[in-house]
Structure 1
Amino acid sequence: MNNKNFLSSELLFPAIKNSFVKLHPKILYKNPVMLVVALGSIITTIALFSDYFLGNQKDFIFSLQISIWLWFTVLFANFAEAIAEGRGKAQAESLRKTRRDTQASLINMQTKVIRTIPASKLVKGDYVVATAGEVIPADGTVVEGMATVDESAITGESAPVIRECGGDRSAVTGGTTVLSDKIIIMVTAEPGKSFLDKMIGLVEGAERKKTPNEIALNILLCGLTIIFLLAVVTLKPFALFQNVSLSIVALVALLVCLIPTTIGGLLSAIGIAGMDRVLQRNVIAMSGRAVEAAGDVDILLLDKTGTITVGNRMATEFFPCPGVTVDELARASLAASWFDQTPEGRSIIKLSNEMHAHFILPTNSIAIPFSAETRMSGVDTPTETFRKGALESITSWVQSLGSKVPPEVIYNVTKISKLGGTPLVVTKGSQALGVIYLKDVVKPGISSRFERIRAMGIRTIMITGDNKLTAAAIAAEAGVDDYLAEAKPEDKLALIKSFKQEGLMVAMSGDGTNDAPALAQADVGLAMNTGTQAAREAGNMIDLDSDPTKVIEIVEIGKQLLITRGALTTFSIANDVAKYFAIIPALFLTSIPSLGVFNIMHLASPNSAILSAVIFNAIIIIFLIPLALKGVKYRPRSASNLLRYNLIVFGLGGVILPFLGIKLIDVIITNLNLV
């Protein structure tokens, strides 16, 4: 996913072209504020030609300048939206290149007969075979076999992933490539509705639907526009009463300056850019509503394994029995784990090596693999036997050899269990040498991330299938606010429903079929791309990198979207206040001298005041486009602090900047004799 600079020629020139295309009435009507500006531009253009044919040279020059800058105002607003859309369209185009007219090997699961058909002819429920070097023709679920798959065309991640039948790694995406082995896939997507098709549609900014907050803000902007329209209309009879010359062009310019054109011009770009920022993190948001909802989240539910912890329990310490050295225990642990290829087994080997334990495997040694029946694993050499396993299994083992487990081992097993770890007892022959402490390793820096989330006013809850003792230990170390232990799918769903009944917004990440009900119920459901088809369909966001902790970043992006919209709305309304003080006193100062106290800027003339305000009103949109696309920098803070910051920076700044800008423009156009 490329994050293109909005000043690059690849985006700039198409955006300029689309700025004119968006002048079409069918497009303009979607933005009521800009529609009013466009209608005003038409009126001033008609007045311009009227002045020309009537020979009013001075009025013609003034009308010409006002008309040009009013059209620029509309075009600049269209340009902001076109730039935001252009970034999404550029990403969509790169995705289209990954889609090919692939041939599919359709298989009859009963007769096992295979025939080749175009991938476009596949329907939901078909079965296809994909072997090494072939492109997976459609979205589906692996029903037979296991293979490594290159998903770089979709995720941008070069490392291949494993896809296999059953479990949470069975979903495959059309357009990805099988690197090894063979798999049989059941197609789960209808033609034209694949994951890739959805991605292309979602990143097309033009197809983005307005969110509820955006609609509400549009209604507010429409209301303000109507109020200012009525106010400006009443100025005409007032001007006649005061014997003040007030042309239609001046009234239109005044209306455009007073209505919230700044936020009206940038509103759509802000929303599109918010989805784009999510996409830059390799997350596909199914709608702008999902991104916006992330900004309002009150509760964040996080799965323990793979999110808070690294995913596998790791060996961290040896507890030897009295009379046994740590070196002896480490050597025995190394021997017992020699053939253990699980992550836990490899971590025991790593810890033993770090303690400089040495073991040379003799020839004719016999590997003893772990089994659910024995709950032990190890190795038998010609002269020695080594085992590691659960306390109950090891107890039975040493008793069968005429020995017993020392009380120190039982004590350490209990101690480790209370700490939330997994104890493994190690034996050499019939002697129990000690205990290995396996623990869930909390991801580095996760605690500080939870502090950031807490500063946002969001409560974090860890969900785990572990017992309460283990869950409590991990929750305390990670720094989450609460936990749900021994959680079943129905427990997750019930928890989310209870929060929503309290009026709280809930976000959750998950990847398994058992997570699907909860993902569907949550306001923000982040599904992993490596997860099951059920999980991906249930969530309203899909993480292409399959990083469960990314839900924290999504919440921050959602809040940044809301803050940016609020900040620029504050700035826009504050702008209107300044422009009011610029124009009204200048218009009526000669007939109402008492208005001089409000003539703070001391602009040269009524015409220069109006033209200066119109020019500033147009160019401020261009200057704010980078901020709208990048977003206001988000820092975790309370709502009261955020409001105070907004009022000071964007409220007060929105008043001061127009005063300075309009005065500067007035000086320039006066010296250039433009009015």
Structure 2
Amino acid sequence: MDTQSVKQYYRKHQQAIIVAVSGLLYAAGWTLGYVSAFDTASASILILAAIVGGYDIAKTAYHEVTSRTLGIKTLVTLAAVGAIVIGSYWEAAAVVFLFALGSYLEGRTMRKTRNALEELLEMTPDTATVRRDGKQKEVSAREVEEGEIVIVKPGENIPVDGDVVEGESAVNQAPVTGESAPVHKADGDEVYAGTINQEGSLEVRTTGSGTDTTLQRIIQRVEEAQEAQSPTESLIDRFAKYYTPSVIALSIGAYVVTQNAILSLTLLVIGCPGALVIGPPVSIVSAIGNAARSGVLMKGGEHLERAGKIDLVAFDKTGTLTKGETAVADVTGFDAKAGDVLELAAIAEKKSEHHLGDAILEAAQDRPAAVTDGGAATGQADTNPALTEARSVPNPDDFDVVAGKGVIAHHDGREIVVGNRKLLDEREIKIPEEVGDYVREREERGETVVHIVRDGVVIGAIAMRDELREVAPGVVQELQDAGIETVMLTGDNERVAAAVAEEVGIDDYRAELLPEDKQTVIEEYRKDGHVVAMVGDGINDAPSLATADVGIAMGAAGTDTAIETADMALMADDLERIPYAVTLSKATRWNIYENVGLAVLTVSLLLAGVLTSYVTLALGMLVHEASVLAVILNGMRLLRY
């Protein structure tokens, strides 16, 4: 092994080598003094052990003193130097070695905790097979350019973010979204770097590579979250700033009163707030790492701690409790053909970006079988030109959106209104009794109904249904079992909201809400003393997500905005992650309390032991380091939550 290799090895394992050498010298010096009369040699070896193990500690202590921020290493250095001055060489070596060993084990454990996402980094391959100039070529994954076609064979990890352009396969997305079951991918579907192609071959058009991938953004956000201090950590840091000088003052005072140097030095050692300082961070880091591997991205310790106090979860309905895949369930004409009703509605909604408008347009273009008349198939699907499959829907002459109510458009000299009862009432449009009966019957099924008005006359209605997620009732029940209230916030009317709330089993609901109304409701719950989590899609529900104590965005994979802005982001549209995230937050909060309690109890018992002469200098340091390791191991339990 050459000199350069030795230097690299030493730099990599410096702390472990120092601890090992210090420990060997300590053991040799103690043994020599115990079995022989070589007191001078024993003392020299023990002092050398203290110097080897304490050099880096003393350097840090010097910087602490010069920057007027006295810390744990200052206390240890003072204790070791003081022990050497009074001739207690064994105690000096013991204190330094035990502190160095504890710091090494603490560092290893914390690195293991902070590197909980390292396995995700390993999931992204270093190379990618791209098609360039008609040939397949292997290049670095970081060199793949946007728009290039990447070929992913069965069993390979996907190296880039992109859209499937050819082939179909089952893809394991667990590293990014936490989903346990593989997801079927075909033409047009999005895939993420770090996920695993399990079956067929895929060709993927690149949308992001290198550091510009969903997985890399997740890892970056998690690292930032782990570094950000929680309120408890900030409080303890402020406490330690005044606590350490107080311990030094107490030690000096004890020496002045008792003239017992060993007692004074022991107070310095047992006064180290190591377990108190390290306890909360290891809990926070473990929880954030665990959550990320399970497809839940937490923005930081502050939000994690706050989430531990949640007692009410508010759900958006569309796309959250439901699948967000609204489809036309029924088209009924009143004094008009169903085909004409659907055609007019599609024209009016063509430029709309609302999910209901998309469903109407899709039904008009591609789903003629959805058209009915009074709930029965019309049999006109093959003859009515309005229903020709994939036909082009004309553009409206003009178009206006009435937020939360519907749209108003003109086409071929006629006014078309598509909207709810509020919009019709606002425009003083009379709703015939038979239309009202139809709407009530459909809404009691949990469907959303819009009226179609031509030149001021209601000519039909379209009923649309967004299927509930199968897991929604179980998720709501799980939250309720944990003592958390649930509420649904929706823009749908009272009958639809009541039907959905009953089917899901939710505690309460608020209907006919505009986005700003949802925000007001959240504010009301907070004023009533609730700690509120709002679950939505991260974009449409932005005001209420921002107003809630904890905003939880669903389906954030690939959406950088949601990852940036949400307090918590569920990488997949997986409602079952919500009880997990909330209960993990509560478990983390209690874990922090346990660690703080253990630290305070240890210091209190050691202090009592010192004052009653039951605790020696070395024993005090041993128990202190044991308490540090105990809080670390307790915090690490959250990695397996």
Change (3 A) 1:538 1:414: same
Paired letter, 1:272: V
Is 1:232 equivalent to 2:251 in the alignment? yes
Letter in 2 for 1:630: R
* Counterpart for residue 139 of structure 1: 161
Aligned partners of 1:159, 1:577: CA distance in 2, in Å?
Answer: 52
Which of 555, 570, 575 is matched with 2:602 structurally?
575
Equivalent position of 2:74 in the other structure: 39
Native 8 Å contact 2:117 2:289 kept in 1: no
Tell me if structure 2 keeps the 8 A contact 1:85–1:272.
Answer: no
Per-residue Cα deviation, 1:120-179 (whole angstroms, up to 9, x for no partner): 2457xx423345638755335x497895562447347451333665xxx65744666596
What corresponds to 2:479 in structure 1?
A: 450
Give the 3-state SS of the residue equivalent to 1:507 in structure 2. strand
CA distance in 2, matches of 1:286, 1:104: 35
Confirm whether residue 68 of structure 1 aligns to residue 94 of structure 2.
yes
The separation in 2 between residues aligned to 1:438 and 1:391, in whole angstroms, is 21
Structure 2 contact 158–197 (Cα < 8 Å) conserved? yes
Kindly indicate whether residue 214 of structure 2 is the aligned counterpart of residue 187 of structure 1.
no
Q: In 2, Cα distance between the equivalents of 1:177 and 1:373?
A: 34
In structure 2, what is the Cα distance between the partners aligned to 1:161 and 1:529?
18
Shift of 1:574: 3.1
Offset of residue 273 of structure 1:
1.6
CA distance in 2, matches of 1:422, 1:51: 85
Matched, 1:161 2:184: yes
The answer to whether residue 498 in structure 2 is matched with residue 472 in structure 1 is yes
Please tell me whether the aligned partners of residues 300 and 460 of structure 1 are also in contact (alpha carbons under 8 angstroms).
yes
Counterpart residue identity of residue 154, structure 1: P
Distance 1:115 1:520 in 2: 46
Q: Determine helix, strand or coil for the equivalent of 2:540.
A: helix
CA contact (8 A) 2:555 2:572 kept: yes
- Please say if residues 226 and 288 of structure 2, whose CA atoms lie closer than 8 Å, have aligned partners that are also in contact: no
Shift of 1:221: 3.0
Question: Which digits, 9 at most, give the CA deviation of each residue in 1:199-222, with x for residues without a partner?
Answer: 444566997333343122221233
The yes-or-no answer on 1:615 pairing with 2:622 is: yes
Q: Match of 2:238, as an amino acid?
A: I
Instruction: Note if 1:150 corresponds to 2:176.
Output: no
Cα 1:581/1:33, change in 2 over 3 Å: farther
SS of 2:211's partner is coil
Relative to structure 1, the CA distance from residue 118 to residue 628 in structure 2 (aligned partners, 3 Å threshold; closer, same or farther) is closer
RMSD value over aligned CA atoms? 5.2
What SS does the aligned partner of 1:445 have?
helix
Cα distance in 1 for partners of 2:76, 2:374 equals: 85
Counterpart position of 1:128: 148
* 1:15–1:79 contact (8 Å) kept in structure 2: no
How many Å apart are 1:70 and its aligned residue? 5.6
Following superposition, the deviation at residue 633 of structure 1 comes to 12
Query: What corresponds to 1:341 in structure 2?
Result: none
Is there any run of 5+ residues in structure 2 with no aligned partner, and where?
Answer: 1-11, 21-52, 328-361, 381-432, 450-464
2:576 matched to 1:562? Answer: no
- Give distance in 2, aligned partners of 1:489 and 1:204: 33
Query: Is 1:300–2:313 an aligned residue pair?
Result: yes
Conservation of the 8 A alpha-carbon contact between 1:265 and 1:621:
yes
The separation in 2 between residues aligned to 1:16 and 1:205, in whole angstroms, is: 26
Kindly provide the amino acid, as one letter, of the partner of residue 372 in structure 1. Answer: A
How many percent of aligned residue pairs carry the same amino acid? Answer: 20
1:372 to 340, 357, 364: 364
2:105 & 2:543 partners in 1: Cα distance? 42
Distance in 2 (CA, whole Å) between partners of 1:536 and 1:149 is 25
Aligned equivalents of 1:145 and 1:202: distance in 2? Answer: 32
**Distance change (3 Å), C-alpha of 1:568 and 1:117:** closer
Flag structure 1 segments of 5+ consecutive residues without an equivalent.
1-12, 53-59, 240-244, 315-369, 378-387, 399-406, 424-436, 587-602, 635-675
Once the two structures are TM-superposed, the CA of residue 254 in structure 1 deviates from its matched residue by 0.9
What's the offset of the Cα at 1:556? Answer: 1.7
Alignment partners' CA distance in 2, 1:265 and 1:538: 29
Q: Distance in 1 between matches of 2:310 and 2:97?
A: 40
Pairing 1:219–2:233 present: no
1:457-487 per-residue CA deviation (whole Å, 9 max, x = no partner) reads: xx43324454321212322443434334456
Instruction: Give matches, 1:393-472, under 5 Å.
Output: 393-394=375-376, 417-418=443-444, 420=446, 440=468, 443-453=472-482, 455=483, 459-464=485-490, 466-472=492-498
**Residue 383 (structure 2) aligns with:** none
Residues 185 and 520 of structure 1: CA distance in aligned 2, closer, same or farther (over 3 Å): farther
Equivalent in 216, 221, 229 of residue 210 of structure 1: 229
Alignment of 1:590-609 (within 5 A): 603=614
After superposition, the Cα gap between the structure-2 partners of 1:498 and 1:543, relative to the gap in structure 1 and judged at 3 Å, is same
Rounded to whole Å, the distance in 1 between the matches of 2:326 and 2:582 is 28
Instruction: Name the counterpart of 1:55.
Output: none
- Aligned counterparts of 1:555 and 1:15: Cα–Cα separation in 2: 41
Task: Name the CA shift for 1:492/1:173 in 2 (closer, same or farther; >3 Å).
Answer: farther
Name the CA distance, whole Å, in 2 between partners of 1:164 and 1:533. Answer: 23
Partners of 2:174 and 2:294 within 8 A in 1: no
Q: CA deviation at 1:499?
A: 6.6
Residue by residue over 1:401-458, the C-alpha shift from the partner in whole angstroms, topping out at 9 and shown as x without a partner, is xxxxxx99x98995564253689xxxxxxxxxxxxx99746645334313135x25xx
One-letter amino acid of the counterpart of residue 474, structure 2: G
2-structure distance, mates of 1:415, 1:578: 71
Q: Aligned equivalents of 1:253 and 1:411: distance in 2?
A: 85
The equivalent position to 1:628 in structure 2, one of 627, 635, 638, is 635
TM-score by length of 1: 0.57
CA contact (8 A) 1:305 1:311 kept: yes
Q: How far 1:77 sits from its partner (Å)? A: 5.1
Q: Alpha carbons of 1:97 and 1:474: their partners in 2 closer, same or farther (altered >3 Å)? A: closer
Find the residue that maps to 1:514 and give its secondary structure: coil
Q: Distance in 1 between matches of 2:175 and 2:282?
A: 25
Structure 2 equivalent of residue 246 of structure 1: 260
Alignment of 1:278-293 (within 5 A): 278-293=291-306
In structure 2, C-alpha distance between the alignment counterparts of 1:146 and 1:304, rounded to whole Å:
34
More off after superposition, 65-74 vs 551-560: 65-74
CA-to-partner distance for each residue in 1:225-247, whole Å, 9 max, x for gaps?
333332332222222xxxxx311
Amino acid at match of 2:501: A
Cα distance in 1 for partners of 2:285, 2:555 equals: 23
The amino acid of 1:246's aligned partner reads N
Inter-partner Cα distance in structure 1 for 2:591 and 2:185: 40
Gap change, CA 1:212 and 1:81, over 3 Å in 2 = farther
